Structure 1
Amino acid sequence: MSKGKHAGHGTPVTRYEDQWGQEQGNAQWMPSGMVPINPYSRSSYAEGLANKKGKRRRRKRIGITIALVIIAMLVCAGTAAALYFTNQIKTIDENFSQGLDADIEDALVETNAPSDPFYVLLMGTDESIERSEDNTFGGIYRTDTIILARVDPGNKKVTMISIPRDTQVDMGEYGLQKINAAYAYGGASLAVKTVSELCDVDIAHFVLVDMDGLAAIVDNLGGIEVDVPMEIDDEDYTGHLDAGLQTLDGWQTLIFARSRHAYDSVGDGDLLRAANQRTVISAIVDKLFQSDIITMSTSITNLSSFIQTDLTVSEIVEYAQALKGIDTTTDVYSATAPVESVYENNIWWCKLITSEWEEMLSRMKQGLAPTEEQEVDSATGIVLSSVGDSGTASVTADTNATSTASVTQDGNVVVKNGSGVSGAASSAASMLAKAGFNVTEVGDADSDKYKSTLIIYASDEFADEAKTINETLGGSNTVMKNDGTYTMTGDLLVVLGSADAS
């Protein structure tokens, strides 16, 4: 049942101003030479929230603790139950809701029962010293950590997918943007709407956490045990950590969870940092399990001052009872959305790899791990995706989830856009991937003047598969065997024509 319909924020932005914080050369997360149009500039948006919700405290936010908040508090049923009968409840609920924008309830959906799977958007923003001093963005900052979590209390499973901050999305009236701009443009409401559309799921809860919360909770617990896979020497950005199994205090945990430049010489810093953040989440949950009730109660009470969420203590208690006993070594699955870096118009974007992304979402909705096998970075030893006991444990699929495993085809399918219609190839590739075809490449054809869609197969063994592709794409396309006319890099080539691209 929907809590309401999302309300848009403002009018389309046609001009922007300044550069917003990207570190790759002159790359920006918004086109250069443009300024926000009032009254929907960042400063005006912040003033609007203040008028609606009272003066909002400016707090330093980061996303490492966001998943901790939702997972740790949900699994600690004993702590929640203890807090339930104390006078701390009112304080915690007030802390939780402080600063939420008025439209957030309209963007979320209700869960049917405490045991049903539901989705949570976990977000955190990072604030630089310079921004803190000059109030450049009026208290509204980029969400540099974005995690979609699927929580399944009935089967005691949690799945986390990190979404890279530079992921390109169509933000409606704001045009093509990096996904970390959503919160700055429209607060929690627009962030929820954007991620919901990107992932094709309904989101039930929103959580955002301050930077200070991570160090505070870790120190309150007496540190967490983490096996640091390689030495981190990032003095200009975070700090230094030796490699190996060790107990990290709050500040050291921040170093481990924030550092990405330490990996510049060995791999993708953003990808490896996201994996480290999920490691921190599991380590904190494990430490909470080992703590006594008083320590856990104090931790959660203190932590409530550092977060924003629509959840109340009573809701947490309800979910916690169902999740009690979760094993983070087998019951928590994680991965990062598959993307490729693309440099366009002086901006670095992360673009989703359509076929892999569709398969990841399909697995998540079925209650499976996002990837079939665990992935480990060979250079650093960092676990990029974890599968736990996926494949052997009981699962509950989303009501609208469909499996593609039984219809997976053998041939490699290349989809080319010959229609002149922007996005036609990506749409067709997504449709084929959902139907189980192995789409290996998406791009532009040698011409954009094709009228009809062509489906070309390299040899007779792929003839039946070509016919199935034709049926998937509507059944009115031309199917033929390659006679040498077409250069093919796969087993099947789909060239979209203008008659079928709309």
Structure 2
Amino acid sequence: MTTPEDWDAGSASSDDEVYTVDTRSRTLGTGRAGRATRATRAGVAATAAGGARTADRRRGGPLSGAGPAQPGAYGGAQARPEPRVRRPRRRGRLVVAVVALLVLAWLAFMIWVPFDAWGQVARVDTTPAAQQPPQGKGHDYLLVGSDSRAGLTAQQKKELTTGSADGQRTDSIILVHVPAGGGKPALISIPRDSYVPIPGHHSNKINAAYAIGGPKLLVETLQNAMGIRLDGYVEIGFGGFAGVVDSLGGVDICVPFHMNDPHAGINLKKGCQTLNGKNALGYVRARYSDPRGDIGRAERQRQFLAAIMKKAATPSTVLVPTEYYGFTHAASTGLTVGQDTTMWDVLRVLQAMRAISNGQGLSLVVPIQSVNYQTSAGSSVKWDTARAKALFTLLREDQPLEAPPAGTDGKPSQG
């Protein structure tokens, strides 16, 4: 027979199992023996389950199917701690802050640079004294390349083969049309030997208007001849042109034929190549080595303006601070604008040039009747009056241009 001492001894022999027996069941009568036995077994089973949970906690592992441990009589188990939530690292926040500051600094630099360069641009009065034509519906600007040698040293004049002629003349005259509505922007070359009436000086080559009265008389002469009011004036000299090209590391151009022109200081082979400032200036100035003379030169000038804008708009120029600064400030050197010409006007001109470089604009020449028109000023260029008038009407009324109008390909309508 098992005694209470035997139960105590068995309990002491094992740490994993604890058995408790209610000895009061022995005093129950015979009729209650079955119920007492069942109660005793239930107590033993419950005690065994508690021992198993105690053992599991001692081993450190969870009990399968059991809920979270609660403090109680079986060892005083405590609730499990809540898992910690990870927070962003300080280093990550610092990186984001630094990147944001750099982006803001870069944007501020991109905005400041053109304003700083604009402050260095020279200004000249171009408002005619006489009554001007009515304001057009689009925007029309005069872009002039002059042979001004102002600011060039003797060494620079020698390197650029500009000579040392006194005074100044126009090497290129281009009307820039920027539509306000639909249609494409256009660059329209005005041959500098065009024979037109010059206010107060009879008829002469249009280049004479600039030589006699500077930008002011040139603007008045063109406005009268075209019937178009000009919204702005932009001029760049020899030194400024070469500096812009060199600031871009040269410009890629396809030379249409071999050009050996000592007057322009160039000896270029036919084919696509990169021209530096000196060769670029000679390329757009060359006249004697081009069989089409002034008409061919005007075409090369428009071609080169488009090439400059194509190179200037590349990420290597725009996104690199040093390149961006160098280009904008080189462009401002030797640049002269009208007193009423704003930076936004110049921006429109640049956008038109960029459209030409992307094939989204038109490159034209004022309609010509003859390139050997004999006058008191010598051999001159005579406009095709009817076609020129039709072109200027389209521009003045800002009618959409999608294709070159008749006669604007530079080919004379007569021999």
The TM-score, its normalising length taken from structure 2, stands at 0.60
Instruction: Find the residue that maps to 2:233 and give its secondary structure.
Output: strand
- Which amino acid is 2:334 matched to? F
Instruction: Find the residue that maps to 1:95 and give its secondary structure.
Output: coil
Instruction: Find the residue that maps to 1:202 and give its secondary structure.
Output: coil
1:299 corresponds to: 327
Give the Cα–Cα distance (whole angstroms) in 2 for the partners of residues 167 and 237 of structure 1. 22
**CA drift at 1:105:** 9.7
Match of 1:356 among 387, 405, 415: 387
- Which amino acid is 2:248 matched to? L
2:300 corresponds to: 276
In structure 2, relative to structure 1, the CA distance for the partners of 1:281 and 1:201 (3 Å cut) is same
Give the Cα–Cα distance (whole angstroms) in 2 for the partners of residues 190 and 101 of structure 1. 10
1:250 corresponds to: 277
Instruction: Find the residue that maps to 2:336 and give its secondary structure.
Output: strand
2:147 corresponds to: 126
Give the Cα–Cα distance (whole angstroms) in 1 for the partners of residues 331 and 117 of structure 2. 9
In structure 2, relative to structure 1, the CA distance for the partners of 1:184 and 1:320 (3 Å cut) is closer
Do residues 371 (structure 1) and 402 (structure 2) align?
A: no
Segment drifting more, 219-228 vs 233-242 = 233-242
C-alpha deviations, 1:218-275, integer Å up to 9, x for none?
Answer: 1111111111111111124331111111122212211221112112xxx321111110
**CA drift at 1:84:** 7.1
**CA drift at 1:123:** 1.2
**CA drift at 1:85:** 4.1
In structure 2, relative to structure 1, the CA distance for the partners of 1:160 and 1:260 (3 Å cut) is same
Instruction: Give 1 or 2 for the bigger CA radius of gyration.
Output: 2
In structure 2, relative to structure 1, the CA distance for the partners of 1:373 and 1:176 (3 Å cut) is closer
- Which amino acid is 2:258 matched to? E
In structure 2, relative to structure 1, the CA distance for the partners of 1:246 and 1:82 (3 Å cut) is farther
1:204 corresponds to: 231
Larger RCO (CA within 8 A; separation ≥ 6) = 2
**CA drift at 1:327:** 6.2
**CA drift at 1:155:** 4.4
**CA drift at 1:168:** 1.3
In structure 2, relative to structure 1, the CA distance for the partners of 1:87 and 1:136 (3 Å cut) is closer
Match of 1:158 among 185, 199, 214: 185
Give the Cα–Cα distance (whole angstroms) in 2 for the partners of residues 345 and 104 of structure 1. 26
C-alpha deviations, 1:182-218, integer Å up to 9, x for none?
Answer: 1222222221111111111111000111111222111
**CA drift at 1:277:** 0.5
Do residues 97 (structure 1) and 122 (structure 2) align?
A: yes
Instruction: Find the residue that maps to 1:203 and give its secondary structure.
Output: coil
C-alpha deviations, 1:298-356, integer Å up to 9, x for none?
Answer: 31122112111133336556x59997984633322122221412223472222212123
Instruction: Find the residue that maps to 2:357 and give its secondary structure.
Output: coil
Identity of aligned residues (%): 25
2:378 corresponds to: 347
1:233 corresponds to: 260
Do residues 308 (structure 1) and 341 (structure 2) align?
A: no
Give the Cα–Cα distance (whole angstroms) in 1 for the partners of residues 130 and 333 of structure 2. 24
In structure 2, relative to structure 1, the CA distance for the partners of 1:349 and 1:303 (3 Å cut) is same
Q: 1:62-461 counterparts in 2 under 5 A?
A: 85-86=111-112, 89=115, 91-98=116-123, 100-101=124-125, 103=127, 117-127=138-148, 136-137=166-167, 141-152=168-179, 154-155=181-182, 157-263=184-290, 267-290=291-314, 291-293=317-319, 294=321, 295-310=323-338, 311-313=341-343, 316=346, 319=348, 326=355, 328-337=357-366, 338-340=368-370, 341-345=372-376, 347-364=378-395, 365-368=398-401, 369-372=403-406, 375=409
Unaligned residue ranges in structure 2 (runs of 5+): 1-106, 150-156
Give the Cα–Cα distance (whole angstroms) in 2 for the partners of residues 237 and 88 of structure 1. 32
2:104 corresponds to: none
C-alpha deviations, 1:18-68, integer Å up to 9, x for none?
Answer: xxxxxxxxxxxxxxxxxxxxxxxxxxxxxxxxxxxxxxxxxxxxxxxxxxx
In structure 2, relative to structure 1, the CA distance for the partners of 1:297 and 1:106 (3 Å cut) is farther
Query: Contact 1:196–1:203 (CA<8 Å) still a contact in 2?
Result: yes
Query: Contact 2:133–2:228 (CA<8 Å) still a contact in 1?
Result: no
In structure 2, relative to structure 1, the CA distance for the partners of 1:199 and 1:109 (3 Å cut) is closer
Unaligned residue ranges in structure 1 (runs of 5+): 1-80, 376-383, 386-439, 442-502
Larger fraction in helix: 2
Give the Cα–Cα distance (whole angstroms) in 1 for the partners of residues 146 and 350 of structure 2. 30
Give the Cα–Cα distance (whole angstroms) in 1 for the partners of residues 279 and 349 of structure 2. 29
Query: Contact 1:278–1:334 (CA<8 Å) still a contact in 2?
Result: yes
**CA drift at 1:106:** 8.6
In structure 2, relative to structure 1, the CA distance for the partners of 1:171 and 1:334 (3 Å cut) is same
Instruction: Find the residue that maps to 1:222 and give its secondary structure.
Output: coil
**CA drift at 1:134:** 7.4
In structure 2, relative to structure 1, the CA distance for the partners of 1:206 and 1:84 (3 Å cut) is farther
In structure 2, relative to structure 1, the CA distance for the partners of 1:181 and 1:107 (3 Å cut) is farther
Give the Cα–Cα distance (whole angstroms) in 2 for the partners of residues 361 and 181 of structure 1. 22
Give the Cα–Cα distance (whole angstroms) in 1 for the partners of residues 146 and 360 of structure 2. 27
Give the Cα–Cα distance (whole angstroms) in 1 for the partners of residues 328 and 145 of structure 2. 18
Query: Contact 2:144–2:234 (CA<8 Å) still a contact in 1?
Result: yes
Query: Contact 2:248–2:311 (CA<8 Å) still a contact in 1?
Result: yes
Give the Cα–Cα distance (whole angstroms) in 2 for the partners of residues 339 and 143 of structure 1. 22
Number of residue pairs matched by the alignment: 288
Instruction: Find the residue that maps to 2:289 and give its secondary structure.
Output: helix
In structure 2, relative to structure 1, the CA distance for the partners of 1:227 and 1:315 (3 Å cut) is closer
In structure 2, relative to structure 1, the CA distance for the partners of 1:183 and 1:324 (3 Å cut) is closer
- Which amino acid is 1:232 matched to? M
In structure 2, relative to structure 1, the CA distance for the partners of 1:106 and 1:302 (3 Å cut) is farther
Segment drifting more, 345-354 vs 151-160 = 151-160
C-alpha deviations, 1:68-102, integer Å up to 9, x for none?
Answer: xxxxxxxxxxxxx866742762x53343234x137
Segment drifting more, 332-341 vs 280-289 = 332-341
